[in-house]
A and B are shown apart, each in its own frame.
Chain A
Amino acid sequence: MPSLLDLRRRIRAVKSTQQITKAMKAVAASRLRKAQDQILGARPFANQMQRVLSGLASHVDTSSHPLLREQTADAPKRPTLLVVVTADKGLCGSFNTNIIKQAGEVITESGGHDVSLGLVGRKGRDFFGKRGFDVRFELVNIFNQLKYSHAQAIARAAIEAFTGSEVDSVQLVYNEFKSVLQQRVVVDQVLPIARLDTPSVDVELSADYLYEPDPAVIFDTLIPRHVEIQFYHALLESAAAEHAARLMSMDSATRNATEMIEDLTLYMNKVRQATITREIIEVVSGAGTL
């Protein structure tokens, strides 16, 4: 039977752990709110961009653009660049595990030819970095201060690899923020750009635009932007999802700690009572022998 002292010590330890998880929960909640604001802030830009690009796409011969070019079937197989977005920190439930598992599946599926990796977030880097994959670039410690320039750096590396014919396609694995309770792992193809949604309504409207410089040049400058925005969006989603996951897991950790403290306190009281009873019995039986 553990001594009273041991039990008290354990209760104290659980309590201090609980304080930490509680604090982490509060921090995650406030960060989550910030991340959600960032997603909302980025939305108008992405929407406008999509609209203008679609308008342009109907004016320009898009098939010849290097970023839209599909790989022909008879060309030699080159690797796929897989960009894996994980978190920098752990303690957020199955967030990182899910991503790494999904990335692993993509790698096994592609089987025949190799996969190059682009790793965003420390957890992914730590996992894949050690396993002898061809790592094209890695980016850690960005989720504290997530900026558009991070997305640009990723986009630049991806576009370089693609236009330099080093990879056939660029894919992106990240956690999508569905709700606070739910994250979903998504695999997206970034390059070649699969299709641009042609606008349904304002085709006639965009027909009489003046372009300065001409549409093809504008299109060329906008396409890389489009790729950047896709990466930016993924990073923001992943950041929000990470905080949501941490919020949930810290919440349940705090609850478990409360439960544990209750159990331990009950047990401790029982032990104390047993000790007292035993001592009384000893005193009484000692008195009886006299």
Chain B
Amino acid sequence: MPLPDHLTLEIVTPASSVVSEQVDEVQIPGAEGSFGVLPGHTPLLATLQVGELWYRKGQDTSYAAVSFGFAEVLPDRVTILVQIAEAADQIDVTRAQTAGKRAKDRLARPTQDMDVERARLAMLKSVVRLRVASRTRTRG
């Protein structure tokens, strides 16, 4: 069987379909480490962690922040089901900054009944969002 030339990338959230494009390469933040996918990849099902995802189409690379979900990889298509997915230019930088600051404050002064895991995740999300957002700005 000849290898396919492209991957059809679909990023779907409960609210809408965020990305639906033909791409050449995808990098996915898997729960057990980030991995890259090229056309012709073995079928794979992986859970994701909060992280940065990018996909390349010719020379153009686009970034997106994703969290909690899973990816289904087939030789010619990648489907990513996540709870949150934001393309780099959609990210609200100020909101991410305030959320990060809040989480940091909470982590710095832990109280008895605090949900540490939740604060840690909020922190992580903020960091990832800011990193992804900075990608567009430095390139633009």
Measured CB to CB, the residues of A under 8 A from B are 38, 41-42, 44-45, 48-49, 52, 55-56, 148, 151, 205-206, 208-213, 215, 217-218, 221-222, 229, 232
Residue of B nearest to A152 (CB): B83
Q: Which range contains the number of B residues in contact with the other chain?
A: 20 to 34
Interface of A is mostly: helix
A45 touching B43 in the complex, CB below 8 Å, given contacts A52-B70, A212-B32, A213-B31: no
Within 8 Å by CB of B46, from A56, A148, A205, A212, lies: A212
Total number of residue pairs linking A and B with CB closer than 8 Å: 64
Check B17 against A209 for contact (C-beta < 8 Å).
no
A210 touching B81 in the complex, CB below 8 Å, given contacts A41-B17, A45-B13, A218-B70: no
A156 to chain B, nearest CB (A): 12
Can you list 20 contacts pairing A with B, beta carbon distance less than 8 Å? A38-B15, A41-B15, A41-B17, A42-B14, A45-B81, A48-B72, A52-B72, A52-B81, A148-B83, A151-B14, A205-B43, A209-B44, A210-B42, A211-B45, A212-B31, A212-B47, A213-B47, A215-B45, A222-B70, A229-B14
The reply to whether the CB of B16 lies closer than 8 angstroms to some CB of chain A is yes
Give residues 55-112 of B contacting A (CB, 8 Å).
70, 72, 79, 81, 83
A210 to B30, CA, bound (A): 13
Check B44 against A212 for contact (C-beta < 8 Å).
yes
Counting chain A CB atoms within 10 Å of each CB, the highest count among B14, B30, B31, B45 belongs to: B14
